[in-house]
Amino acid sequence: MLGNFSYHNPTKLYFGKGAVSYLAEELPKYGKNVQLIYGSGSIKKNGIYDSVVAALKACGKNIVEDGGVMPNPTVEKLREGVDIARRNGVDLLLAVGGGSCCDYAKAVSVSVHCGEDPWDKYYLRFEEPECEIVPVGCVLTMAGTGSEMNGGAVITNHAQKLKIGHVFGDEVMPKFSILDPTYTFSLPKRQMAAGIYDIFSHICEQYFSGEDDNTSDYIAEALMKSVIKSSLDAMEDPENYEARSNIMWTATWALNTLIAKGKTTDWMVHMLGQAAGAYTDATHGMTLAAVSLPYYRYICPYGLPKFARFAKEVWGVSGAGKTDAQIAEEGLRAMENWMRSLGLAMSLSELGATVDMAEGIADATLILDGGYKALTRDEIVQIIKQSM
C-alpha cells in the first residue's frame, strides 16, 4: 500500500549525444557571472571543458573558475567556493563533473548569502536555507549519484571525522542538467564500477523499507535489473552507448525522489559508508560496497519476505523447495558475485580502514529508523567489524 505523498521535481534534463548544445537555451536565463565548477582537470583533457567554455563565451558570460573539487568535497573547499562566489557576485553555479561537483555546487548555492557557518547550520543542525539561493546547473560526466536531479549535497569535515549529506528542498535542485552518455566513456573502470554500485545502492535503500508490494517496488526492481545487465555490458565494452546511456538514465531515476514515494526508505548503508569514508577518504561507491552485504545479512531476518522477493525478482532465484531464508541468502550470494565481477571493494580493510577505527566509525554513523530494523550502536560496531 502506498502512503500519501506529493511529488514535484523542477530539474529540466537534456539527454543524449551532443546535449551540451542546449546550454545555448539555458544560459541566457541567468546573469553574466558564471562560476565554473569542476574537479581535477580531466575535463580539460577530454575536450568537455572546451565545449562548455565555448558555450559560455557564445552567451557572453564572464567565467569565474572554481576547479579542484575533490571526490569527497571538504568543508574547507566549500568555504573557498563561497568566497569565490561572493567576491565575483556570481549569478549561476555551473558544475561540470560527477556527483561530487554537483553536490558541492548545491552546498555553495545555499551558503553564498547565508549569514552563518554553513557546516554548523546545514550539516550539524540540519536547518533549511532562509537566504537567497544561487541557481545551479550541471553538465554530468559520471553517472552514479543522481545529484543532477535531486537536492542532496554531501560534505566531509576531516577535522571532525564526519561525512554528512543534507537533502535540500526543490528550490536547491539544479535548474537544468546536461546528460551526454558519451561524456562517461573515458572514466577508468574502477570509477565506473563505483558509480554503478552507488546507483544500485540508492535503489536498495528505498526498496528495502516501508510498505511492500507497491508501484515504487516494481519500478525499483526494473531499475535494478537494468543496472545489472548494463553494468556487465559496459565492463566488457566501456564505449557501448546503449549500456552507458541506460546506466546514466537509471542513475537519475534511482535518486530523483520518484521511487521513494510511499516508502519510509532506509539509508543505513549510506550512513555506514559515509562514516567509513570520513576516516578513509575512500571513493563513495566503494565504501557502500564494502558495508552492504554485512548490513543486509544482518537485517535480512527482519525483512525476510522482501529479501526473498529480491532474490526471485531481481536475481532469478528459484523458490522451489526452499525456505525464504534460503532463497534470500541465495539472492545475496548472487549480488555478491555480481559485485565481485565489477571489481568492487568487498571489505573496508581494502580501503584502508583498520579494526581500531570501528568504534570511531560507529560514533560517526547517523542512526536512522526507516529500514526494517533500527540499529543500536553495538550492532553498528558489529557490522563495521564484519565489514573489515
Over range 144-163, report the average pLDDT.
Answer: 94
Residue 211 has pLDDT above 90, yes or no: no
What is the structure's pLDDT at 7?
Answer: 85
- Of the pLDDT bands very low, low, confident and very high (cuts 50, 70, 90), residue 212 is confident
> Rg of the Cα trace of the chain?
20
Condensed to tens digits (0 to 9), the pLDDT of residues 327-343 reads: 999 999 999 999 999 99
Over range 254-273, report the average pLDDT.
Answer: 94
Least trusted range by pLDDT, from 36-50, 300-314, 363-377: 36-50
What is the structure's pLDDT at 6?
Answer: 83
Residue 360 has pLDDT above 90, yes or no: yes
Q: Is 166 helix (H, G, I), strand (E, B) or coil?
A: strand
**241 exposed, middle or buried (CB, 10 Å; 0-12, 13-18, 19+)?**
middle
- Of the pLDDT bands very low, low, confident and very high (cuts 50, 70, 90), residue 210 is confident
| Cα–Cα distance, 156 to 278 (Å, whole number) | 7
What is the structure's pLDDT at 213?
Answer: 75
Buried b (16+ CB within 10 A) or exposed e, 48-77: bbebbbebbeebebeebebbebebbbbbeb
Share of the chain above pLDDT 90, in %: 94
Each domain of the chain, given as residue ranges in start order, spans 12-183, 190-387
| Cα–Cα distance, 10 to 264 (Å, whole number) | 22
What is the structure's pLDDT at 5?
Answer: 81
Closest CA to 366 of 118, 77, 103, 124: 124
Q: Are 246 and 194 in contact (CB under 8 A)?
A: no
Enter the pTM of the model: 0.94
| Cα–Cα distance, 335 to 176 (Å, whole number) | 34
Residue 375 has pLDDT above 70, yes or no: yes
| Cα–Cα distance, 14 to 23 (Å, whole number) | 9
Condensed to tens digits (0 to 9), the pLDDT of residues 238-250 reads: 999 999 999 999 9
Torsion sign across C-alpha atoms 235, 236, 239, 244: negative
What is the structure's pLDDT at 42?
Answer: 85
Class of domain 12-183: alpha beta
Would strands 136-140 and 176-179 be described as parallel, antiparallel, or unpaired?
A: parallel
Tell me which range, 45-54, 276-285, 291-300, is most confidently predicted by mean pLDDT.
291-300
- Of the pLDDT bands very low, low, confident and very high (cuts 50, 70, 90), residue 41 is confident
What is the structure's pLDDT at 46?
Answer: 86
Closest CA to 63 of 105, 92, 103: 92
| Cα–Cα distance, 116 to 111 (Å, whole number) | 8
Class of domain 190-387: mainly alpha
What is the structure's pLDDT at 2?
Answer: 63
3-state secondary structure 58-69: HCCCEEEEECCC
Condensed to tens digits (0 to 9), the pLDDT of residues 155-199 reads: 999 999 999 999 999 999 999 999 999 999 989 999 999 999 999
What is the structure's pLDDT at 35?
Answer: 98
What is the structure's pLDDT at 262?
Answer: 85
- Of the pLDDT bands very low, low, confident and very high (cuts 50, 70, 90), residue 1 is low
Average pLDDT, the chain: 95
Share of the chain above pLDDT 70, in %: 99
